[in-house]
């Protein structure tokens, strides 16, 4: 009885049943009457004395700011004030558009193709908005105006394609993402509020074997002193499967005729292997080696034509060699038949080689090694093509195509029309 009296604080009835204990001041606790309301930018907590209480909590200028526990309405007002300070850029060191673009270029320095692509987009963007424009002044409305102005522009008599406008937006979106990550821009990325232009995607530009024969026949018939070298450049791109920027890194020392590979390839998403030297490639490599520049590169750097515009950086040697490849294709395109002219560009040859290997039933991991494609999935990373496999399938699929570049070679019956 005494123990029950101590437990129930003076209750001497001796009844310790569930109903009696539920009424005891020791067991009784305030009950939560209803679920808490969700307030944007606020968190909530249950306090026994006061019930549900709220406080504002969000990141402003890279630091988390926390309000005091108060009522729901007061916490909502604190959160609105924090959002206003964040949108006003409190604590943010504002930068100009040119400085933000330069930060992106610095982050991709060393990757010449990527640097050059971003640089071209940033020149167009800064010419429209002004290099001295503050980054926080580039709003979604002004970006919409930029897209409309680009659609009204004309380059060589044609407006820019929707795909190019998507690339403009992609470059500008990267500028804002880097600025937000480095605490140089307040708020959300305005590019996310823009409806992306819908690019028309047609069929890939691929040449079949008969069309490739017509292409090189037209190149051999050109009345030009550079006809032989131009055809060798086109053939090297076709039978190595390299990208335009990658072939510009190949030197004479990379050509290992004894092993049957072109080593030391440098291109994005690369396996780091080498391109096998098939008979068609072995036929044109001596021409490229004979005309190699004094620095040993198979593609010599083009000459600088005229002074650069004020504020523009000088082109690197890699960019000048890429320009040499572009001039080769422009020269060759004029002499091609009309039905082949529009599809004739460097990357179409890479697509064509991949298609030729697929028609020859070459295993996927060997195709990736021949064309130097990076593995697409985790499982593909565990399939490694040996040099023997690469040489075998390359000779099996590509050696019969020697007639494309060498008119003296016998043309297989399967390649006849």
Element (H, E) at 121: helix 112-129
Domain edge (last residue) among 158, 193, 228: 193
Q: Are 232 and 355 in a shared domain? A: yes
Q: Model pTM greater than 0.85?
A: no
Residue 339 located in a structural domain: yes
Rounding to the nearest 10 degrees, give the CA dihedral for residues 60, 66, 72, 73. -50
- Output the domain CATH number for residue 389: 1.10.443.10
In whole angstroms, what is the distance from residue 409 CA to residue 240 CA?
A: 20
Q: Are 152 and 239 in a shared domain? A: no
Q: Evaluate if residue 415 carries a pLDDT over 60.
A: no
Q: Evaluate if residue 12 carries a pLDDT over 50.
A: no
Looking at residue 235, its pLDDT comes to 92
361 token code pair: 């039933």
Q: How many percent of the chain have pLDDT more than 70?
A: 79
Residue 91 located in a structural domain: no
Residue 8 located in a structural domain: yes
User: How confident is the model over 61-70, as pLDDT tens digits?
Assistant: 666 788 889 8
Q: Are 189 and 216 in a shared domain? A: no
The residue range of the domain holding 142 is 97-193
Element (H, E) at 119: helix 112-129
Would you give the DSSP letter of residue 136? G
Find out whether 309 and 250 touch, Cβ atoms under 8 Å.
Answer: no
242 token code pair: 């390299």
The mean-pLDDT minimum among 6-10, 24-28, 188-192, 310-314 falls in 6-10
Structural domain count, the chain: 3
- Chain center to CA of 170: 9
Dump the DSSP string for 215-263: HHHHHHT--STTHHHHHHHHHHHHHH---HHHHTT-BGGGEETTTTEE-
Find out whether 262 and 277 touch, Cβ atoms under 8 Å.
Answer: yes
Looking at residue 189, its pLDDT comes to 86
Mean pLDDT of the chain: 80
Residue 13 located in a structural domain: yes
Q: Are 179 and 324 in a shared domain? A: no
């Amino acid at each position: 009885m005494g123990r029950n009296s101590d437990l129930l604080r003076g209750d001497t009835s001796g009844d310790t049943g569930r109903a009696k204990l539920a009424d005891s001041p020791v067991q009784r606790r305030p009950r939560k009457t209803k679920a808490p309301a969700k307030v944007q930018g606020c968190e909530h907590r249950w306090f026994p004395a006061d019930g549900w209480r709220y406080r504002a909590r969000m990141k402003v200028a890279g630091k988390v700011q926390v309000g005091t526990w108060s009522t729901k309405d007061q916490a909502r007002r604190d959160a609105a004030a924090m959002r206003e300070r964040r949108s006003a850029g409190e604590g943010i060191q504002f930068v100009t558009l040119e400085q933000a673009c330069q930060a992106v270029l610095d982050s991709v320095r060393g990757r010449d193709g990527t640097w050059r692509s971003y640089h071209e987009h940033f020149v167009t963007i800064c010419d429209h908005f002004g290099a001295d424009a503050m980054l926080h002044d580039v709003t979604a409305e002004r970006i919409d105006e930029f897209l409309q102005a680009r659609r009204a522009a004309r380059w060589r008599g044609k407006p820019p394609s929707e795909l190019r406008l998507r690339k403009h937006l992609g470059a500008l979106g990267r500028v804002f993402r880097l600025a937000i990550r480095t605490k140089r821009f307040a708020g959300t990325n305005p590019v996310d509020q823009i409806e992306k232009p819908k690019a028309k995607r047609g069929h890939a530009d691929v040449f079949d074997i008969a069309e490739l024969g017509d292409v090189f026949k037209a190149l051999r018939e050109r009345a030009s002193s550079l006809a032989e070298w131009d055809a060798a450049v086109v053939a090297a791109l076709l039978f190595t499967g390299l990208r335009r920027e990658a072939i510009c890194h190949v030197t004479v020392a990379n050509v290992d005729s004894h092993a049957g590979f072109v080593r030391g390839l440098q291109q994005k998403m690369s396996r780091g292997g080498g391109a096998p030297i098939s008979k068609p490639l072995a036929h044109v490599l001596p021409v490229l080696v004979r005309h190699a520049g004094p620095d040993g590169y198979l593609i010599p750097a083009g000459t600088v034509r005229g002074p650069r515009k004020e504020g523009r950086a000088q082109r690197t040697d890699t960019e000048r060699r890429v320009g040499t490849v572009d001039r080769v294709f422009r020269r060759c395109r004029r002499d091609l038949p009309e039905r082949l002219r529009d599809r004739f560009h460097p990357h179409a040859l890479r697509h064509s080689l991949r298609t030729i290997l697929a028609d020859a039933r070459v295993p996927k991991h060997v195709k990736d090694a021949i064309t130097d494609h990076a593995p697409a999935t985790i499982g593909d990373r565990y399939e490694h093509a040996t040099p023997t496999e690469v040489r075998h399938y390359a000779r099996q699929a590509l050696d019969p195509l020697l007639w494309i570049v060498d008119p003296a070679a016998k043309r297989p019956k399967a390649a006849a029309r």
